Chain A
Amino acid sequence: DTGVSQDPRHKITKRGQNVTFRCDPISEHNRLYWYRQTLGQGPEFLTYFQNEAQLEKSRLLSDRFSAERPKGSFSTLEIQRTEQGDSAMYLCASSLGEYSNQPQHFGDGTRLSIL
């Protein structure tokens, strides 16, 4: 059983650079979520896809952030002109179904460090 896969595991970049993360959900899962987790905090919701449609974005997601899920399978999260405050763990999760609040299964995350 293949779980949620995220790439890369770690990303170190200089302030002002663009970065892109990839998430491959569990194959039959139609719902995909991105969260951000900073040290000592719980994950915070960023955005949600149902199939290829992006249905909700958090106010945490500034204009520098964009997410896509072009074919309803894998998703990418891009951060443009990175800032120090973007340093965090970026978590992807997927789940099955529409209204039953099925558990979300998380990947290992991508840890972003801004120099």
Chain B
Amino acid sequence: AQKVTQAQTEISVVEKEDVTLDCVYETRDTTYYLFWYKQPPSGELVFLIRRNSFDEQNEISGRYSWNFQKSTSSFNFTITASQVVDSAVYFCALSGRDGATNKLIFGTGTLLAVQP
């Protein structure tokens, strides 16, 4: 069975602080993909990043960075110098090769509140 766990329900930081959102996954697939999505108050899920299971290189995009560690089945997301506009619910998701549907298995999300 596939499962994604986001243990942090809510995080509150002050603007300019760095913040890390944790994601732990479970899968029996050897080939799988991990994703992060952002859901602002408006409701639309916004795609942030996709990583496949064979690429453990960390990635940086502006203030965002992702740390993928297969040894601990984790795919953590760090925002440096947080801004009020970063306030949203962030979802980690997993997609395997089960039936080649590529459906996403989401975690329960982490609500990030960035205070000015």
Q: Which A residues are within 8 Å of any B CB, using their own CB?
A: 31, 33, 35, 40-45, 48, 55-56, 89, 91, 93, 95, 98-99, 101-109, 111
A45 touches B108 (CB 8 A): no
What would 17 A/B residue contacts be, using CB atoms closer than 8 Å? A35-B104, A40-B108, A40-B109, A41-B108, A42-B4, A42-B91, A42-B106, A42-B107, A45-B104, A45-B105, A48-B101, A91-B45, A93-B45, A98-B100, A104-B47, A106-B47, A109-B44
Contact A101 B91 (CB under 8 A): no
Q: A42-B108, A55-B101, A56-B103 are in contact. Are A101 and B52 (CB under 8 A)?
A: yes
Residues of A within 8 A of B43 (CB): 89, 108-109, 111
Q: How many residues of B contact A (CB 8 A)?
A: 27
B-chain residues with CB within 8 Å of residue A31 when the two chains form the complex: 102
In chain B, positions 84-116 with a C-beta closer than 8 Å to chain A are: 91, 93, 95, 97, 99-109
Q: Is the CB of A33 within 8 A of B93?
A: no
Contacts of A40 in B (CB 8 A): 108-109
Residues of A within 8 A of B100 (CB): 98-99
Choose among A98, A101, A106, A108 the residue that contacts B33 (Cβ–Cβ < 8 A): A101
Interface residues of B in 1-56 (CB under 8 A from A): 4, 33, 35, 37, 42-47, 50, 52
